[in-house]
Amino acid sequence: MARTVEAVLDHAAAACARRGAQLTPLRREVLRLVLEAEGPVGAYALLDRLKETRAGAAPPTVYRALDFLLEQGLIHKVERLNAFVGCAEAPHGHAGAGDGHGHPHQFLICRRCGATTEISDAAVTQALAAAAGRAGFVLHGATVEAEGLCARCAQG
Amino acid sequence: MARTVEAVLDHAAAACARRGAQLTPLRREVLRLVLEAEGPVGAYALLDRLKETRAGAAPPTVYRALDFLLEQGLIHKVERLNAFVGCAEAPHGHAGAGDGHGHPHQFLICRRCGATTEISDAAVTQALAAAAGRAGFVLHGATVEAEGLCARCAQG
DNA sequence: CCTCGGACGATATAATGTATCTCTCTGCGG
DNA sequence: CCGCAGAGAGATACATTATATCGTCCGAGG
Ligand SMILES: [Zn+2]
Ligand SMILES: [Zn+2]
Ligand SMILES: [Zn+2]
Ligand SMILES: [Zn+2]
């Protein structure tokens, strides 16, 4: 797993460089903390972990890094949780569209165990685009977060 | 317009009563403030307005009322804005499902003028339900918030 | 050398949301 | 009438999340 995270970090650094951006050591460290977390992680939880290696870290430190990672499409924000997760697709070649918006995605959030699964369902994306179009709305992005019970918790 | 708001409030009170809940004067006042706002309105903005008539109002005052109104499906929360809007369907007979979750809905949020339009698109709802089902996820509700340019702003 | 811009450090403050305890009112059983 | 339970609300304090602002450093380009 540690190997995997390092590989993703290297891949992310390359993707940033390709777009003229730079995954600095600080940003890389924050991204690592997000990826190592088991699920969505709050900015202040990240800050606490970051302080272990960077004593002077403060809220703007982590928020600036998170803003960068969001722009690069390397992480997503879960609005319902005010928390952040690594993009599930970044390691598989997508790594952000370079347009500053990431890619269309949806979250399935378990109300019991908190598991948050990223999916990228074309039908959902299309349906939303169609609905927006009918309203004359020019779509730039969307937050889609489902709440319910994950497969594991639904069994009990 | 004022007439309309009063009519909606009366309708909401009746709907609550039908479900064994009570739209108390305080809750009614908070709902009125939400409905009178031009768009999504934050809890603390509501609190400021509420203080004009209820000097002792504090954060829990407004949050408790908002929680009740959310449960009754009379308002929705816009997660991306941390703000609240009146349900666009409540005045038209729906007025909450009574199941404590409101109804499926989506928001179209204009990044330029801030206009927030509530829609209820069956195709989006179905597509999301299908995607969740394929993941073995039991869907209970969803936050769907599109960002872009409204018809008016897109023209410029 | 100069200076310009991006990244970061540092401090303070704003905005949003909860916990907890008390108090009062109301309806009801005894 | 009395005592009690439960909902609603007042009040204080606190927790969590996010931003504003200013200063410093450093490398790219002139
Ligand atoms: Zn993603
Ligand atoms: Zn679960
Ligand atoms: Zn609605
Ligand atoms: Zn607009």
- What does the pLDDT look like over A17-69, one tens digit per residue? 999 999 999 999 999 999 999 999 999 999 999 999 999 999 999 999 999 99
Chain B residues inside the 8 Å CB shell of A148: 132, 137-141
Q: Are residues A108 and B138, on separate chains, in Cβ contact within 8 Å?
A: no
pLDDT tens-digit map of B15-69: 999 999 999 999 999 999 999 999 999 999 999 999 999 999 999 999 999 999 9
Examine the pLDDT at A97 and tell me if it is beyond 80: no
Q: How far is the CA of A109 from the centre of ligand 1 (A)?
A: 15
Give chain B's contact residues with A (Cβ, < 8 Å): 79-80, 106, 108, 110-111, 117, 119, 121, 123-124, 126-128, 130-132, 135-151, 154
Which positions in chain B touch A141 (Cβ < 8 Å)?
146-148
- pLDDT, one tens digit per residue, over B66-112 is 999 999 999 999 999 999 999 999 888 665 555 556 899 999 999 99
Closest nucleotide to A60: CA versus each C1': D19
Q: Which residue of A has its CA nearest to B117?
A: A135
Q: Which amino acid is at B94?
A: H
Domain hosting residue A141, numbered range: 2-155
Query: What CATH number is associated with residue A54?
Result: 1.10.10.10
d(CA A116, ligand 2 centre) in Å = 9
β-partners of residue A149 are B138
- Burial status of residue A1 (CB atoms within 10 A of its CB: 0-12, 13-18, 19 or more): exposed
Identify each DSSP E strand in chain A by its residue range: 75-78, 83-86, 106-110, 116-119, 138-149
Domains: count for chain A: 1
Spatial distance between the Cα atoms of B55 and A73, rounded to a whole number of angstroms: 46
Å separating the CA of residue A20 from the C1' of nucleotide D30: 22
